[in-house]
Structure 1
């Protein structure tokens, strides 16, 4: 049970629902308000399918490219650390990107904002360390949590304001930094035992 809760929390934090609120708001600004919910559901569903695909194809992916589990853990930790540092030391809560089309499709919402490199690495690492059913359940629960946060992005943005969103983003970043260091140390420990 502890492994399941830990996996849910880790995946949900890496998906960074609160940190993605400003990005989702910016990407959906030009979308008609009545279409926003549909677009969000579509993008979140695509992200979930990608993560589930990595869950079941991750082992094959590692073998096909000759990647060891400890390498994935270390690389995932480094990527997560870089993303976390950006969250903690970010000076802007509003993104610079301006979508050219009114309705984003897959990029940038599904990939890389929700199903980004760190999230996919965490899913693959979890699948290597725990039974697939446990990781699948964790991915589903984390996706529901993330979806609930992002579905409330416009009301939450109004409620929290720019400073509130920035504070939540920095707190999430600090937690992710600790998790990334743990991932790197775990990978190093596994390598040393070989």
Structure 2
């Protein structure tokens, strides 16, 4: 096993930017209000497991079901687009029908918010450049930060206040919308080039 500090830090920074857990705090607070409670540990572990499994099996799974990475990313762009609309317009598109906090830990928190199409496709591209053990360490470092942010989201809410959260929610909604559009256009172009 050859751990390379530079590779670990680079992979960590790329994943941290794509997962954007700090930007997702308003969504986390919203989910906490809807579900009453979020199992931070469970959500973090499930997200970490999804990311590591996808690192090893991602391309094979997608190939097996006949889906290419670009189609997967386009589908992910739609999910991000609707989450962004909820944030900007203050509407609820994702309805919770008698959801338990266990379900909330899995959907939409662990997937697609943390281990979403953006981070999963990023893993596939990192794998082409870096050694797998370095990427695993970077994923585990991100999971730890995700857990800390999820655990302290109510404290962060108290510090920011309702107005602060509303402003951050709208700002990050626009950023998320821009990411969704970028993800969509980049991958739709790639799909048309293949076709």
TM-score bracket, shorter-length normalisation: 0.7 to 0.9
Distance in 1 (alpha carbons) for counterparts of 2:169 and 2:146: 14
- Counterpart mapping for 1:134-173 below 5 A: 136-173=136-173
Contact 2:85-2:91 at 8 Å conserved across structures = no
Matched, 1:55 2:91: no
**Residue in 2 aligned with 1:27?**
35
Query: How many residues are matched?
Result: 181
Contact 1:84-1:177 at 8 Å conserved across structures = yes
Distance in 2 (alpha carbons) for counterparts of 1:61 and 1:42: 24
**Deviation of residue 138 (structure 1)?**
4.8
2:177 alignment partner, SS class: helix
Contact 1:77-1:184 at 8 Å conserved across structures = yes
| Cα RMSD for the two superposed structures | 3.2
Contact 2:15-2:122 at 8 Å conserved across structures = yes
**Deviation of residue 53 (structure 1)?**
2.3
Contact 2:12-2:139 at 8 Å conserved across structures = no
From 103, 108, 111, give the equivalent of 1:112: 108
**Residue in 2 aligned with 1:32?**
none
Contact 1:19-1:165 at 8 Å conserved across structures = no
**Residue in 2 aligned with 1:8?**
16
Contact 1:21-1:157 at 8 Å conserved across structures = yes
Distance in 2 (alpha carbons) for counterparts of 1:129 and 1:190: 15
**Residue in 2 aligned with 1:178?**
178
TM-score, length-normalised on structure 1?
0.74
CA 1:24–1:52: 2 relative to 1, 3 Å: farther
CA-to-aligned-CA distance 1:39-95 (integer Å, 9 cap, x gap): 422332223223322332221220111011221222222221222122111158xx9
**Deviation of residue 187 (structure 1)?**
0.9
Distance in 1 (alpha carbons) for counterparts of 2:14 and 2:42: 27
Matched, 1:124 2:132: no
